[in-house]
Amino acid sequence: MLTLPIYMDHHATTPTDPRVLEAMLPFFTQTFGNPASRHHSFGWAARDAVETARRQVARLVGCDPRELFFTSGATESNNLVIKGCLAKAPRPAHVVTVETEHRAVLDPCRRLESEGVRVTYVRPGPDGVVDPQDVEEALTDDTVLLTVMTANNEIGVLQPMAALSALARSLGVLFHTDATQAVGKIPFDASELDVDLVSMSAHKMYGPKGVGALCVRRRRPRIAIQALVEGGGHERGLRSGTLNVPAIVGFGAAADICRLEMDDEMQRVGALRDRLWRGLSDRVTGLAINGSVTHRLPHNLNVCVAGLEGETLLVGLDDVAVSSGAACTSAHPEPSHVLLALGLSDEQARASIRFGLGRWNTEAEVDYVVEKVSRLVVRLREMSPA
């Protein structure tokens, strides 16, 4: 039986898995201690739960638990890396990133520029994939940090992480990736990729909001990051503040579920995405996929609908949750900076919508969305003066 409304905006956030919620509940009212309380059993139980979650998340992303620090989310983790790594770096200092990064990377980079740090923004190809040779040409003797997201939050494009990591390693440049959209959705192994720093969030992988992590690989010499928040020395001095134990426990539970079920989920959700694209392309003319078709997250479909405003489509899809871009920029009227970086015109960027399928979407929902979108596009085109 089909239940409305239908949620297909899993890049913005995911529903908390009931199994995750079940794991969290005791830590609100029963095991409620502060993990920093070292002199009684309430604190010890909370501390042990945090360390269990740390091991669970570390196992998912392929790092040592000692390399994992809990934060409030990937935005904080990104800021901690970009600002913290540059805080004491000798000047002149230089950062290299990509034009299609999330605002949680671009905005801290803009802040660094206002403080005298030079930042180079590499443009990807028309498919959204950055060329490692272009990155290599952007790196200089003053480059302190290279930051490239693993999977794009709008077009789902996957970057050549192994090649970029090898490049950064050969030149002695720190390599950071915002892996928020990738972790829990596709295999990601920080050790295998040999990246230095990894940001992630729980709520993108069926965990709770308000908790994330930063992986800081154990290197010699040690990666120097200046803390942005001080006041208690929590998380070994990198991120002070009482730990959100229920959310951290939920993060760990979500990580375990993703690790165990990822292969099957990738196949199932990828098949749904392909069914959605086949249905739409068979019934709607003038559709084009934005970004690489082959180097892409299995649950992402970002399409340009020629001759229409994406926002108009969203209004018409009153019982289907999709989006025209990143949730954090939905209040801004400008066309997507990601799509513009691919070479799309303002009109094409505004005519694009993003579908993000997830764990509980079904074939019946996909078929309903195909029918709904198809009828809506025909009606809107008939009404259009063009």
Angstrom distance (rounded) from CA 351 to CA 308: 5
Q: What integer pLDDT is reported at residue 326 of this predicted model? A: 59
Backbone angles phi, psi at 355, to 5 degrees: -105, 130
Q: What integer pLDDT is reported at residue 386 of this predicted model? A: 60
Is residue 131 within 8 A of residue 125, CB to CB? The reply is yes
Residues with active-site annotation: 328
The burial class, CB within 10 Å (0-12 / 13-18 / 19+), for 195 is: buried
Residue closest to 267 by CA, chosen among 357, 202, 159, 201: 357
Q: How many CA atoms lie within 13 Å of 229's alpha carbon, on the beta-carbon side?
A: 15
The dihedral over CA atoms of 287, 290, 294, 300, expressed in degrees to the nearest 10, equals -90
Which residues neighbour 266 within 8 Å (Cβ) at sequence distance 6 or greater?
185, 186, 298
Q: What integer pLDDT is reported at residue 178 of this predicted model? A: 98
**CA angle (229 as vertex; 228, 232 as ends), nearest 5:** 140
Q: What integer pLDDT is reported at residue 107 of this predicted model? A: 98
Q: What integer pLDDT is reported at residue 330 of this predicted model? A: 54
Domains of the chain as residue ranges with CATH: 6-14+262-383 (3.90.1150.10), 18-256 (3.40.640.10)
Angstrom distance (rounded) from CA 61 to CA 51: 15
Backbone angles phi, psi at 170, to 5 degrees: -65, -25
Going residue by residue through the chain, which has 386 residues, state the pLDDT in tens, using 9 for 90 and above: 799 999 999 999 999 999 999 999 999 999 999 999 999 999 999 999 999 999 999 999 999 999 999 999 999 999 999 999 999 899 999 999 999 999 999 999 999 999 999 999 999 999 999 999 999 999 999 999 999 999 999 999 999 999 999 999 999 999 999 999 999 999 999 999 999 999 999 999 999 999 999 999 999 889 999 999 999 899 999 999 999 999 999 999 999 999 999 999 999 999 999 999 999 999 999 999 999 999 999 999 999 999 898 889 999 999 999 998 655 555 556 899 999 999 999 999 999 999 999 999 999 999 999 999 999 999 999 887 66
